[in-house]
Amino acid sequence: MLLKSFIFALAVFSISADVCQQIPDSQIYDLSTFFLPTPDIYFGTLPANFNCTYKIKAPANSTYGFSAHVLVDNGLKGANDYAVITDVDGSKTTMTSRAAGPPIRYNVVPGAYITVQIVTKSVLMNSKFKVKVDYHQAKMGPVNQMKTGGEMNFFDLGKLSDGYHYFNTVTFIGTEQIFAYLTDFKDEDFMGCWDCFVMDGTIENHVKIYRTAEIYQYNFLSTTNAITVFSTTGKPFKFTLNPLSEARQFEWDSYYLLDSLRIDSAIEMFSNPQLRATQVVNFDTTGITMAHLAITSDVCKKAVIVSGPPNNSSQLLMDLTTNPEMPHHFDLQYFTVIHQDCTLGFMVY
């Protein structure tokens, strides 16, 4: 009977209005768990006039760090009580007593944080709220310097997956802003990767975090000279990167006509008076075969293949306007098709 009374007392524990406890640094380690607003597994009853913002961080640097996995359980009852969760990308979710439902999960990438603000009004309504935070040691990926000259910058984060750590990560650092383009945006596995992110900057020093949904819908250009990419374990994540000086050749109406595709793809390029470029990459090995080339426009001002990224260091490999014999095998891992005022299509494998 005493044990039951003790458990009941914990379950109805009332939180002091002036207590706003954060997670101590000493409690952040691999496989640790912490609860908010109370440091136990039970819902705490929120007092009237309660207003606390919890900052749930995932501390990290380029060599060591943690990811945080947050479960938010809404037990609000007051009509005017609410909670606001600000995710790693800055998006906000407001919870009220009218938005009750199953717990919502948030995954915090290394080096980032989310905030949970809980507010009650002047009338005590026995509102409850619980936030569970689980920490896991993160696998910190490589930090790469952007290649220059005729070498292309590309990466497949799926190859870093070890089946255990939640996030895979890689950082690229250059001397100017970096343009990134995802090549697998039509892949069903990738489309399901809600917890894939691009960080504008490094893990230690960044200005903003974006979900990949904001990358495949728009061409992404960093505001810094670095970019860090996160994907969840088991998700494919193939992308190319170019310094701004390369991408700027293809700028048109605040948009960059520079994209990329992986092999085993069919592509049709439509005529455009602006200069366009498509980088073709075999992410697995050396060797690309082009087949079924067809130029269907009456006029084709330019359609060439160069040996690397679209810059002066890459060598001309083929002029597609000369009707070259197909299929043609390139003993390369990548090349770029540059075209202007030309409608053409081909397959690569």
Give the helix ranges, DSSP H, for the chain: 2-11, 188-191, 213-216, 244-247
Surface-to-core class of residue 80, CB atoms within 10 Å of its CB (0-12 exposed, 13-18 middle, 19+ buried): middle
**Position of tokens 């200005």?**
207
Domains and their CATH numbers in the chain: 2-137 (2.60.120.290), 139-256 (2.60.120), 259-349 (2.60.120.290)
Q: What is the pTM of this model?
A: 0.88
pLDDT at 101: 83
pLDDT at 265: 81
Surface-to-core class of residue 6, CB atoms within 10 Å of its CB (0-12 exposed, 13-18 middle, 19+ buried): exposed
Output the tens digit of pLDDT for each of the chain's 349 residues: 434 433 333 334 556 665 688 999 999 999 999 999 987 766 778 999 999 999 999 999 999 999 999 999 999 999 999 999 999 999 999 999 998 789 999 999 999 999 999 999 999 999 999 999 999 999 999 999 999 999 999 999 888 888 889 998 999 999 999 999 988 555 555 555 778 899 999 999 999 999 887 666 557 899 999 999 998 867 678 899 999 999 999 988 777 889 888 788 888 888 889 999 999 999 999 999 999 999 999 999 999 999 999 999 999 999 999 999 999 999 999 999 999 999 999 999 9
182: CB partners within 8 A, 6+ apart = 190, 212, 215, 216, 237, 238, 239
pLDDT at 270: 87
Distance separating alpha carbons of residues 337 and 317, to the nearest angstrom: 10
pLDDT at 5: 38
pLDDT at 1: 41
Distance separating alpha carbons of residues 277 and 78, to the nearest angstrom: 57
pLDDT at 182: 84
H or E element that contains 270: none
CA 336, 341, 342, 347 dihedral sign is: positive
pLDDT at 14: 58
Distance separating alpha carbons of residues 280 and 15, to the nearest angstrom: 59
Distance separating alpha carbons of residues 19 and 37, to the nearest angstrom: 9
Quick one: how many helices (H) and strands (E) in the chain? 4, 29
